[in-house]
Amino acid sequence: MRPSRPSSGRGEHVAAYDAMTRIRAFELAQTDLWAQGLVPGELHSSIGEEAVVVGVTDCLGDGDAMALDHRSTGPLVARGADLTSLLLEVVGSERGLCGGSGGHMHLFAPDLLAASDGIVGSSGAMACGFAVAARRLRPGSIAVAFFGEGAVNQGVLLEAWNLAVAWRLPVVFVCKDNGWSITTRTRDVTGGRLVRRARAFGLRTRSVAGWDVVAVRSAAEDLVTRARGGGGPGLLHARVHRPGGHFAGDPLLRVLQRPRSQVRELGPGVWEAVTAQPGPGLLTRAGAGAGLAARFVCLAGDRARGRRRDPLAVARRRLDRDTADAADARAAAEVAAVLGRVDEDLRLHRVVAGVR
């Protein structure tokens, strides 16, 4: 996939790449901590969504608000949240952004007008709230809502779309569509077309390849400018590929990546479930098995296509290698320094997790 024709100057390409590689470095660091057992609970990474995050947040200014979903660290990094306090929050430290009570899914940064929530679809309603407040307190400001495509089947999001149109709220809804809702293919549980559904509500819509930051930025700018000027809300639909799957340790990916060990581990349980009596008939069981197999075929296809959909690789093609390498090195150094600062807080975690 070739990047679309750059609509901006070289400086902007460098700045966008800088922002994306910072997010990637931060996300990789927290994924690594999770793998060491140092992050409590699940970890949903935004790796693969960097172009959407940067393309959209680039259009925001002071006074604009962000309502975020369960992949909220990327947008907060992009908007300038303090990385140390963010990482401390992710590991559950009292010194973290929310005193360690939120974790990575419930991050609040009042100074950035940003709030995240793990309830799928809730960011739409939160964004409407932010937009009503903006209209009264910060005229000319807008709110954006980030969510996955699975959220379009949540009533709360549809209510938010309706209210945003009825009240002409300054909101831009940003749907990051990876095609999956955990282990369910979203199209298997979705009637009609997502973008047409949004249009039926009266939202202005734009669809983009979410791995191309230039394309995302241009589409986002159109919707943001319109919303800011009182023209009404919009939906940005961005296709994305997330190589890490739903969350760190994604079971579907584990099976795909390490089939032998996983078959050994999961095989007996699956066999027991298939043969358990009483239960559904043979045909139903065979159908369920075929459905599972089809899901893996689909996932393997997604991953093959996904290799061309890495936002950083796409953005790199607009830069010379030295410039991109220098940006990667700056991001790695910044995140290494942050890791150094949280190290003290991780000592107890290491003892509990039994790692040195």
Ligand X SMILES: Cc1ncc(C[n+]2csc(CCOP(=O)(O)OP(=O)(O)O)c2C)c(N)n1
Site of interaction with Mg ion (CB under 5 A) = 148-150, 178, 180
Separation of alpha carbons 73 and 76, rounded Å? 5
Give the shortest CB-181-to-Mg ion separation in angstroms: 5
356, burial (CB in 10 Å: exposed 0-12, middle 13-18, buried 19+): exposed
85, 181, 205, 218: residue in contact with ligand X (rule CB under 6 A)? 181
Residue 119 engages ligand X in binding (rule: CB under 6 A): yes
Separation of alpha carbons 237 and 214, rounded Å? 15
Q: Which does 182 bind (CB under 5 to 8 A by kind): ligand X, Mg ion, none?
A: ligand X
Q: Can you read off the two tokens belonging to residue 347? A: 């000592």
188-247: contacts with ligand X (CB under 6 A): 246
Which range in 176-184, 190-198, 297-305, 331-339 contacts ligand X by CB under 6 A? 176-184
Q: Which amino acid, 109?
A: A
- Minimum CB distance to Mg ion smaller for 166 or for 189: 189
Residue 149 engages ligand X in binding (rule: CB under 6 A): yes
Separation of alpha carbons 337 and 339, rounded Å? 5
Of the candidates 77, 55, 3, the one whose C-alpha atom is nearest the C-alpha of residue 319 is 3
- Minimum CB distance to ligand X smaller for 57 or for 186: 186
Number of residues that this document lists for the chain: 356
48, 55, 75, 150: residue in contact with ligand X (rule CB under 6 A)? 150
Q: Are 194 and 201 in contact (CB under 8 A)?
A: no
Q: Which does 173 bind (CB under 5 to 8 A by kind): ligand X, Mg ion, none?
A: none
By CB under 6 A, the count of residues binding ligand X is 17
Q: Can you read off the two tokens belonging to residue 215? A: 């394309």
- Minimum CB distance to ligand X smaller for 150 or for 232: 150
Q: Can you read off the two tokens belonging to residue 155? A: 């009533």
Q: Which amino acid, 262?
A: Q
Residue 306 engages ligand X in binding (rule: CB under 6 A): no
**Contact residues: ligand X, CB under 6 A:** 70-71, 118-120, 147-151, 154, 178, 180-182, 186, 246
